[in-house]
Chains A and B, each alone.
Chain A
């Protein structure tokens, strides 16, 4: 597995044999798993963010802005941490 590879998907047929295998990567902006199909055109997979150096899904490429998923997670958690700091 290369450093940029985000995982792999194995498909088993009804007899339990591996029917196919695909590499996947996880979008650095939205956390979505993108399946890299055989002989897929690079532009159909998604893209690369030059700001955060992350691999992106097609939806996030289309937005044209850099919103790293880690920042989104922090935003999701912020309200909870504030409430907790007040003992609520």
Chain B
């Protein structure tokens, strides 16, 4: 079991939010090296000019990622091996393969606030050991039209 970090500052260009969901981070299985990916820590916030707007954050299941910049997960323990999952950040084209009504994490927050969710062991968000399937972190806002920051920590099992 190795732990990895994904941050949307590590790959691609952060995209401005709009009223429709923008994909911030993606973690999916890869055929040759299938493992379950378990998200246990999520940190979200904004890096635009402070104002009072709402932002909706969502983690859903997907069966195929959209167009996003490949992201190499950062090892939390440098002695572990490289991640085998396929990860990406800051999508420029949204996936059409997000499973409807599959949200496992949904929260509306004020733009000025930042949030952190941490799972207790055994309560992680689990992505199946299936090619191209996994979890997708998205955000949308009707008022905030700048960029956001997000970090997810996950475990491969």
Question: A-side interface residues toward B, CB under 8 Å?
Answer: 1, 5-14, 19, 24-26, 30-33, 35, 69, 73, 76-77, 79-80, 84
* A9 contacts B129, C-beta separation under 8 Å: no
Are B126 and A25 interface neighbours, CB within 8 A?
no
List 6 extra interface pairs beyond A7-B119, A10-B117, A84-B34, CB under 8 A: A7-B117, A8-B117, A12-B113, A12-B114, A33-B117, A76-B133
Residues of A with C-beta under 8 A to B131: 80
A18 to B107 Cα, complex, angstroms:
17
Number of A-B contacts (CB under 8 A): 80
Size class of the contact patch on chain B: 20 to 34
The reply to whether B105 and A33 contact each other, CB–CB distance below 8 Å, is yes
Q: Does B125 contact A (CB under 8 A)?
A: yes
Please, which residues of chain B bring their CB within 8 A of the CB of A14?
Answer: 50, 112-113
Q: How far is the CA of A9 from the CA of B155 in the complex (A)?
A: 19
